[in-house]
Structure formats: C-alpha cells, structure tokens
A = this chain, B = another copy of it.
C-alpha cells in the first residue's frame, strides 16, 4: 500500500471511530505533512481519496471538514424484533433468491459468493485435478462417515487459530455449512423447541429451523457488538429456549465481530441456563484482523458449543466441504449426519487438507482479507455517495457482505424487483427475519473486483430510491 493510501486509511478509521465528528475541521495539509514527515502532495493525495469516498469535504479557503449534513456513515440501531418465539416464514422469498434467473445480470450483489479467480486458489484447483486423475477409485467409494482423517487433522489446526483445542475425532465433516447447521439444530432440539437467533439472521439457518419444526426467537442484536446479552437473558428467563444460534465472528448479514468478553459472557449465560450454542463460524477466518478473533467454542469447557463451518466462503462453495465440532453432542450429530446424506466425497476433502497443510490456505486468506477490506471501503463510499442521506450501513469487520438499512418509507422488496429488471440483483432484508421484518433493508456483497460495475449499479439503485415513487411504501 502506498504512503498516501496508508495515511488515508488511518484518517478514515479516525473518522469512522468518531475521533473526528461531523462538522469537525481536519488538520491542515501543511500541519499534517509536518506531523508525519511527508510531502504536502502526499497529504493532498490522501485527502483526495477521502473526498472521493465522501468522508470529508473541502470548503474553499477553510480547509477540510467532516460533512455535517450527511451522516451517512451511521450504522443501524440495535434491532427490535418481536419479543416471542415465532414460526419462520419467508421460504418463497428465499427460493426466489436461490432461483434468480440471471441471464441479464449486470451486477450480482445478492449472493454471499466468494471471489474465486485469485491466483492463490490455483494450487487447490490443480490438486483436485490431479487427485481426480490419479485416484479415481477413491473418488467413487464410500469413505469414513466422519470424514477423511487427513482433513480432520488439518481442521484441528484451523480451529487452534480461533483458540480451540480439538482432536480429529472431535470433528465431523459435512456437506457444507448448511448441512452442519441443519444437523446441529436437529441434534440439540426436538419438534416445537425454541431456538434463540440474532436479528437479522442468515436465512439458511432460519429455514433449517423451519424445516426442523422449531420456533425462532429473534433477539435484539447490536450492529457492532452482536446479540444483546441482556435481551437474551430476559428471553431465557421467559421461554424454554433450547439452543442459541449465533454467527458472532464476521456476522452474516451485518459483518460485525462480537467482542471477546461478550463471547465469553455468551458462553457463561448458556451455561447458566443450560442451553446449547450453535456457533456458525463460516466467515470467521475472513476477519480482517490477524490473528483472527477467538470463537465462542474456544471458551467451551463442557462441550455445549457446536461449532459449524466450511470452506464455502474462504475457498469455494462448490467443494461442499463443511464440518462440525459437536462437543458433547458427537454421537447424536454423527447419527443425524449419516441419515442426512451418508458420507461426503473423499477427493475434495483430501485436496482441501493438502491445501491447508502446504500453506496455501493461509496464503490465500491473506490475499482475500486485503481484497475484501478494499471492496468494503469502496462499496461504503459508493453507498454514501449515491443513496439517500438517511441510509444506515453496517461496518463489516471481515467477509464480503454488508447490511443496508434504508429509511422506513422504502421497500427493498420492490427495489429488488425493479433493480432485477435492470440486471442488478440484491438480497432484500425480509428473508433475514423469521417473520418478514426488514423490508426496508438489504444485504449487498462486495466480493469481487468489478468495482466500476458495482459503483454504477449502486448509483442506479440510488437513483431508483430517490426517484421512483413506486418504491416508497407510503405510496
């Protein structure tokens, strides 16, 4: 990263953390140049970047200021879901999202799909090609029902990076994280039981709750700190909750990382009320900070945390390599995994194991973290520039999706429909609630490097929002 980009990044953080507030004047170019021992043009270049991102504005003869009028950098407020367990609906909306016909696609912002064209992924592709060529019969037979041992050994290594001390026998390989979540829900709860979830929450786990005949209890969730533990305690007091399902490290859809003390407190609370925790860690290794944050599982002393993950976001979803560290639920989880889809294909497991063992995984993630962080900053800037001034945006600490909260007068479902006719696809917010809340919200990805196309698409979305009366709920 060049000197001026680094400086811009530091200033950006200061602004976003509130060190400089709306209306504040920033240090003069001369003053800052002296302070950092760099040239005046370097500072000018850094300020220019921030200006492009609408984070600062130049006032003639006065200097640079944090804009007063537009507080677009605000994050959403804590959510206020209904305070009772409810059946999950919204399946048709999810199916519609999954079935999008995208022949006309200009820009696909709707899926949580990783960028897969980076050179750092090539050794994995090559390895799978070689295995398919050299060991075809291993690819055709039934393997270990718990997953290939060589992979489980490497997953132990990954888990160690999030503070977990596991043995290969503590891990069960699944067909992606979706199967992991589904199996865990069925392992800890029976028909009619209540599961506490974040709000908003990933639609895949919500639909798994529905399919298992469970009820979802949405807990108010803070856009930077995660599930409210105070609200969770009240819910635990009031309802016979069976398990807590959370995505605390790089949340989907919000992107926050629950602070470590709160993760520990979450575990203690689960212990106090004797409920299980299903921890979806699928984005955990994509936290921009390194080393990555600890998982809730790392605090688990009595096996009540079932950690679920996969390589679908870190590497590629098509490998269908996911896993569970099921703690004390191992026997039940093994049973349900077996009936769910029997064993998983062997060769992708071996390829991923080799990729981790030989350092390819770490190298790839270093690359992706930088790429995604850059994508986040660009998308944030685009939204701030083009969306209505009252738009609130989550500030992801990892991964490649963020959450946009429009003014309550907007209908993101209608927006999504109109946008689709222009070839621009977004995931409207109601799918991330059990009951169709968040119609004024949407999840957008910043997963690839086609920033110019995305910028134009965000501009068009902004124009639609600010012009098309059909999008306003009030109309």
Q: List chain A positions with a Cβ less than 8 A from chain B.
A: 91, 94-95, 98-99, 111, 113, 116-117, 125, 128-129, 132-133, 136-145, 174-176, 178-179, 182, 186, 190-192, 204, 207-208, 210-213, 315-320, 334-336, 338-342, 344-346, 348
| Measured CA separation A424–B346 after assembly (Å) | 25
Across the interface, which residues of B come within 8 angstroms of A116, CB to CB?
137, 140-141
Taken together, the copies of this chain in the complex come to 2
Q: Name 15 interchain pairs, CB-CB below 8 A, sorted by A.
A: A111-B142, A113-B141, A139-B319, A175-B341, A178-B339, A179-B340, A190-B213, A191-B191, A204-B339, A207-B335, A207-B338, A207-B339, A212-B339, A318-B346, A341-B341
B145 touches A339 (CB 8 A): no
- Measured CB to CB, the closest approach of chain B to A284, in angstroms, equals 19
A175 touches B175 (CB 8 A): yes
Across the interface, which residues of B come within 8 angstroms of A175, CB to CB?
175, 341-342
A310 nearest CB neighbor, chain B only: B342
Across the interface, which residues of B come within 8 angstroms of A133, CB to CB?
129
| Measured CA separation A128–B140 after assembly (Å) | 11
B129 touches A142 (CB 8 A): no
Across the interface, which residues of B come within 8 angstroms of A344, CB to CB?
320
- Measured CB to CB, the closest approach of chain B to A7, in angstroms, equals 37
| Measured CA separation A143–B100 after assembly (Å) | 11
A316 touches B140 (CB 8 A): yes
B319 touches A140 (CB 8 A): yes
Across the interface, which residues of B come within 8 angstroms of A137, CB to CB?
116-117
A141 touches B317 (CB 8 A): yes
A334 nearest CB neighbor, chain B only: B95
Residue in contact with A336 in the complex, picked from B99, B211, B336, CB distance below 8 Å: B211
Residue in contact with A341 in the complex, picked from B132, B144, B176, B192, CB distance below 8 Å: B176
- Measured CB to CB, the closest approach of chain B to A219, in angstroms, equals 21
A176 touches B342 (CB 8 A): yes
A340 touches B341 (CB 8 A): yes
| Measured CA separation A210–B338 after assembly (Å) | 12
A344 nearest CB neighbor, chain B only: B320
Across the interface, which residues of B come within 8 angstroms of A210, CB to CB?
335, 339
- Measured CB to CB, the closest approach of chain B to A320, in angstroms, equals 6
- Measured CB to CB, the closest approach of chain B to A288, in angstroms, equals 23
Across the interface, which residues of B come within 8 angstroms of A212, CB to CB?
339
B191 touches A339 (CB 8 A): no
Across the interface, which residues of B come within 8 angstroms of A318, CB to CB?
138-143, 345-346
With A186-B211, A211-B335 given, is the CB distance from A341 to B178 under 8 Å?
yes
- Measured CB to CB, the closest approach of chain B to A170, in angstroms, equals 16
A205 nearest CB neighbor, chain B only: B339
B211 touches A178 (CB 8 A): no
A132 touches B140 (CB 8 A): no
Across the interface, which residues of B come within 8 angstroms of A117, CB to CB?
137
B341 touches A182 (CB 8 A): yes
Across the interface, which residues of B come within 8 angstroms of A320, CB to CB?
341-342, 344-345
15 further A-B contacts with Cβ under 8 Å, apart from A125-B140, A190-B213, A320-B341, are A95-B335, A98-B145, A128-B139, A129-B129, A129-B133, A129-B136, A132-B132, A139-B319, A178-B341, A178-B342, A182-B339, A182-B341, A208-B339, A340-B340, A345-B345
Across the interface, which residues of B come within 8 angstroms of A141, CB to CB?
113, 116, 316-318
| Measured CA separation A329–B474 after assembly (Å) | 38
| Measured CA separation A128–B334 after assembly (Å) | 30
Across the interface, which residues of B come within 8 angstroms of A113, CB to CB?
141-142
Residue in contact with A132 in the complex, picked from B94, B129, B179, CB distance below 8 Å: B129
Which 6 residue pairs of A and B lie closest in terms of their CB atoms, listed nearest first? A191-B191, A140-B316, A140-B318, A178-B342, A175-B341, A179-B341
Across the interface, which residues of B come within 8 angstroms of A315, CB to CB?
140
| Measured CA separation A133–B176 after assembly (Å) | 23
A207 nearest CB neighbor, chain B only: B339
| Measured CA separation A340–B340 after assembly (Å) | 7
Across the interface, which residues of B come within 8 angstroms of A348, CB to CB?
345
B111 touches A342 (CB 8 A): no
- Measured CB to CB, the closest approach of chain B to A264, in angstroms, equals 31
| Measured CA separation A322–B387 after assembly (Å) | 46
B142 touches A317 (CB 8 A): yes
Across the interface, which residues of B come within 8 angstroms of A178, CB to CB?
338-342
